[in-house]
Amino acid sequence: VTVVNYWFSTCKPCVGELPELEALNKKLAEKMAVRLSASTHSQLTVTGQQFSEAKDILSKKGVTYKNIWFDSNSDAGKFTSGLFSYPTTYVVDKNGNIVGEPIVGAITEKNQQRHLKNS
């Protein structure tokens, strides 16, 4: 199972939930083989400065799970062009299928935590 969280560095709720995602990653890793991946995305191609800022934020927040960056013209970038709100989180099964509905908004909200646990 993989949790994919789309965020960007100037999104306050996105940055605010990073410690929760880190805690979730550690908690789930103890129970089963779960990997939490977070993808940084901007509506524009990620510049060197944005990349540097994102890496700095991840470091300051103590994030240890894998993060990926991609060009907005890639398939992943095109997928994110359909996202209307950030952060948005998906649960993906071992076969690459999206499980349930995406979680729109920070997982720090109680109802979002329940949704994630039930996915």
Task: Quote the pLDDT of residue 55.
Answer: 86
Task: Quote the pLDDT of residue 117.
Answer: 62
pTM: 0.79
The CA distance from 117 to 69, in Å, is 26
Q: Find, among 113, 114, 105, 91, the residue nearest to 12 by Cα.
A: 105
Residues 6+ apart with CB under 8 A from 46: 40, 54, 69, 70, 71, 72
| Residues lower than pLDDT 70 in the chain | 32-36, 38-48, 108-119
Within 10 A of 31 (CB to CB), how many other CB atoms are there? 7
